[in-house]
C-alpha cells in the first residue's frame, strides 16, 4: 500500500516549456487535490477533484490544467512554465471533501 505517489520528485524547466506532474493514490479515495507551497505562505490549492469525473478551480489555478484520469490518478499540467511557478507541488487525497488528507512526497519544480 503506497498511499499517494508523485512523479517526478524534482524537475528543472526553462520558461515556456511544458510538463505534467503525475499523482496516484491506492486508497480508493474519492477526492484529490493539487497544492503549491511557497516560502512564507501556507499551502495553496490549485485544483481539486471532489470525485471521479469532476474538477474545480482552487485558489491559484492560473497557468495550470488538471485531468482526473480515473479514480486513482490526478495529473497537473503546466502548458507554458513561468518562473513564478517555481514551487513545491503536493498532491493529496481524501475519502471526501474536507476530510483528512493524505499527502504525496512532493515535487520540487524550478523554472529558469
Partner 1 sequence: KNEVEQSPQNLTAQEGEFITINCSYSVGISALHWLQQHPGGGIVSLFMLSSGKKKHGRLIATINIQEKHSSLHITASHPRDSAVYICAVKGGSRLTFGEGTQLTVNP
Question: Applying CB under 8 A, which residues contact partner 1?
Answer: 40-45, 48, 50, 58, 88, 90, 92, 97-103, 105-106
Helix-, strand-, coil-residue percentages of the chain, each rounded to 5: 5, 50, 45
Q: How far apart are CA 16 and CA 70, in angstroms?
A: 28
Residue 41 CB, nearest approach to partner 1 (Å)? 6
Q: Which is nearer to partner 1, 15 or 27 (CB)?
A: 27
Residue 4 CB, nearest approach to partner 1 (Å)? 10
Q: Which is nearer to partner 1, 85 or 93 (CB)?
A: 93
Nearest residue to 91 (alpha-carbon basis) of 110, 109, 81: 109
Residue 20 CB, nearest approach to partner 1 (Å)? 21
Residue 65 CB, nearest approach to partner 1 (Å)? 19
Q: Which is nearer to partner 1, 10 or 83 (CB)?
A: 10
6 C-beta neighbours (distance < 10 Å), count: 20
Which residues share a beta bridge with 88? Answer: 37, 108
Amino acid at each position: 500500500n503506497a498511499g499517494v505517489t508523485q512523479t517526478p520528485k524534482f524537475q528543472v524547466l526553462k520558461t515556456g516549456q511544458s510538463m505534467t506532474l503525475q499523482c496516484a493514490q491506492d486508497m480508493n479515495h474519492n477526492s484529490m487535490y493539487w497544492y503549491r507551497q511557497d516560502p512564507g505562505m501556507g499551502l495553496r490549492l490549485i485544483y481539486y477533484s471532489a470525485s471521479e469525473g469532476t474538477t474545480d478551480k482552487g485558489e491559484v489555478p492560473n497557468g495550470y490544467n488538471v485531468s482526473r484520469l480515473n479514480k486513482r490518478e490526478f495529473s497537473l499540467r503546466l502548458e507554458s512554465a513561468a518562473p513564478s511557478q517555481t514551487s513545491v507541488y503536493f498532491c493529496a487525497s481524501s475519502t471526501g471533501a474536507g476530510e483528512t488528507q493524505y499527502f504525496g512526497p512532493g515535487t520540487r519544480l524550478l523554472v529558469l
